[in-house]
Amino acid sequence: MDKSSRISGFYKLSVEERIKKVREFSDLGNDDIKTLKEGLSLEYADRMIENVICKISVPLGIATNFQVNGKDYIIPMATEEASVVAAASNAARLVREGGGFEASSTEPVMIGQIQLVVDDPDDAQDIILENKKQIIGLANERDPTLVSLGGGVKDLKVRIVGSDDRRMVIIHLLVNVQDAMGANAVNTMAEAAAPFIEEITGGKVYLRIISNLATERIARARCVIPQRVLGEDVIEGIVRAYEFAAVDIFRASTHNKGVMNGITAVTLATGNDTRAVEAGAHTYASFESEYRPLTTWSKNKEGDLVGEIKLPLAVGTFGGATMNPVARVMHKIIGAKKASELSEVLAAVGLAQNLAALKALSSEGIQRGHMALHAKNIAVMAGAGENEVEKVAQKLVEEKNIRVDRAKELLEELRGE
């Protein structure tokens, strides 16, 4: 059955009504709803990390309107930042008018690095390449499950880095990790291959660890928004905003932060490793040249806006913290069958988030969109109770004076003090 993520007025619904819509869209069961409402148990949290004393809550909102490769998605986003979810939904609605996002991804191949220090690096390089098959075999022996699923080490490459007498050999194991993020799998394989590498080269292995610069695990997304949807001026503003980021590293940093507002929120919601994804994205932004925007925006011959994103996305649908009960429900909500599909959705979210930011920044500015929620936070900071927040916030927005001291005055007036 074709489902539509174009749920108009979702933001106006109560939390209960929204849960009902999500339940219908994603076929959630009673247990899923219970998990959504109760969150992670303290007992489960205590098994995930060390020295647990509590859990910290982050709001989780649903972005609507997404269509990627012809399929509709609703997207759980965990973030403490106001406007991110609304911005993603709005941008996805605009992209929908141009036919949605087109996305693709490479095979889910991660790089495991083995650092070898040896007297003659060039000689060691030859020996390692001669024994490539055996090294790959030893690594693959450690993860028969992954191999049986079609994954495992597929290739091995050798680099020599450093200079003079500090030169070292770096072996890259290229591991297809299927639906996992892959760090445990890759690290285990790198550790398994290391003793044999020491034996054949007479050198000493130091580090055996995954690289977060996942250049072999790339996701891309593209969108075309017709000129009639945005208008010529807005399109020109967005392209100008991109050109600024393309030539100025100070802007590029914030540009990419905006992209990651969306990607990190979904990464967190799905129990994936936010630091791994962030490290990969930002390093990739300076991989081929100096630090660059992760997206590009241009106009086609018809004057439509064309957006593209390309970045490494090491996210899984199996393994690691993606198995925690709350993250399992988030995966059900997205409904991606494979890790590669999830990475494509994430690329689309990053592109949408960037579109929303550039559109706002190049026209009315970003603050207007932030105002309503910001005003509520300020009202709470001023001491407003549950029944007072809305009234104080509304007045702050009307007065365009969103400050704690003014909120305190309004609160006093409201209370007749």
Taking the least distance from each CB to ligand NAD, the nearer of 192 and 378 is 192
Pattern 373-402, ligand NAD, x by CB under 6 A: ------------------------------
Helix (H, G, I), strand (E, B) or coil at 401: coil
Q: Which of residues 137-176 bind ligand NAD (CB under 6 A)?
A: 143, 145-146, 149, 151
Nearest to 112 by CA among 218, 194, 178, 168: 194
Instruction: Please report whether residue 327 would count as binding ligand NAD according to CB under 6 A.
Output: no
Q: What single-letter amino acid sits at 386? A: E
Rule CB under 6 A: say whether 214 interacts with ligand NAD: no
Q: Which residue is nearest to ligand NAD (CB)?
A: 319
- Cβ–Cβ under 8 Å, residues 268 and 76: no
Distance CA 331, CA 88 (A): 18
First to last CA, the chain: 59
Among 65, 90, 140, 178, binds ligand NAD (CB under 6 A): 178
Distance between CA atoms of 284 and 300, rounded to whole angstroms? 26
Give the span between the Cα atoms of 313 and 294, in whole angstroms.
Answer: 12
Nearest residue to 337 (alpha-carbon basis) of 125, 147, 105, 170: 105
Burial of 377 (0-12, 13-18, 19+ CB in 10 A): middle
Tell whether residue 336 is a contact of ligand NAD (CB under 6 A). Answer: no
Catalytic (active-site) positions: 81, 257, 273, 370
- Between 186 and 225, CB nearer to ligand NAD: 186
**Residue whose CB is less far from ligand NAD, 301 or 337:** 337
Residue 181 touches ligand NAD, criterion: CB under 6 A = yes
Least distance between ligand NAD and beta carbon 393 (Å): 38
Query: Which residue's CB is nearer to ligand NAD, number 321 or number 404?
Result: 321
Position 180 contacts ligand NAD (CB under 6 A): yes
Question: 57: which 2 tokens?
Answer: 């809550």
Tell whether residue 192 is a contact of ligand NAD (CB under 6 A). Answer: no
DSSP state of 51: S
Would you tell me which residues interact with ligand NAD (CB under 6 A)? 143, 145-146, 149, 151, 177-185, 187, 210, 212, 273, 276, 316, 318-321
